Amino acid sequence: MTRVTDDIIIRAVARVIMPFIQIYALYVIMHGHHSPGGGFQGGVILGASFILYLITHGLEDAKKRMSELKAGLFSSFGLLIYSGIGLLCLIMGSNYLDYGRLSTLLKVIPAQARSLGILGVEIGVGIAVMAVMFSIFFDISTGGVVPEDEQELETGDE
């Protein structure tokens, strides 16, 4: 079970650094066209910031910020964005994920519509990867045993 670090230095420094890590992750997702980065890399950095919070502040505080239910919802939401854009291209009368047809919807030229379509897909991928990384680390570090489940098992037996 993940315990709180009873050391105020590590907790304070992690609290100060976390927002800047998240802003940097958003920069990596958005700037994927012109620099190393993209959806998956930015999602990993965003997930790493939540893992830092889980390590330094323990299980209870981390579950208040991002519970297992929220992680599942976020991963589904990211997937919805990805496949939703693909289906939108299919509805407009072309192949799956053929972003050129979005130009009539967005009122831009087809080349710009392709660029915007790729950006939207990368955002969806980033959100999904963040949620999955946090969920995997949560499951591995607790071993599937959560204190509330243990209490329910004990009261259920009696």
Partner 1 sequence: MSVLHLTSIPFLLGGFFFFFTATVGLLRFPDFFCRLHATGKGDTLAVLLSLIGLSIYEGFSFTSLKILFIAVFMFLAQPTSTHAISRAAMRCGLEPWTKKMEKKNDSNL
Partner 2 sequence: MSNFFLYLGMGLFTLVFLCLYRGVFGPGVLNRIAAISAIGTKTLVILLIMGFIYHRVDMFVDISMVYALLNFIGTIAAAKYLENGGEI
User: Which of 28, 62, 121, 123 is close enough to bind partner 2 by CB under 8 A?
Assistant: 28
Stretch that binds partner 2, among 28-36, 62-70, 110-118, 149-157 (CB under 8 A): 28-36
Q: SS3 sequence, 108-143?
A: CCHHHHHHHHHHHHHHHHHHHHHHHHHHHHHHHHHC
1 lies in the binding site for partner 2 (CB under 8 A):
yes
Does an H or E element contain 39, and which? helix 39-65
Check if the beta carbon of residue 29 is closer than 8 Å to that of residue 123.
Answer: yes
Out of 9, 36, 93, 144, name the contact with partner 2 by CB under 8 A: 36
Cβ atoms 4, 61 nearer than 8 A:
yes
CA distance 108 to 95: 19
Instruction: Give min distance, CB of 48 to partner 2, in A.
Output: 6
By CB under 8 A, name the one of 45, 89, 123, 130 that touches partner 2. 45
Residue ranges in 89-128 that form contacts with partner 2 under rule CB under 8 A: none
Q: Which residues bind partner 1 (CB under 8 A)?
A: 7, 9-10, 13, 16-17, 20
**Partner in contact with 36, chosen from partner 2, partner 1, none, beta carbon below 5 to 8 Å by kind:** partner 2
Evaluated on CA atoms 120, 125, 126, 131, the torsion sign reads positive
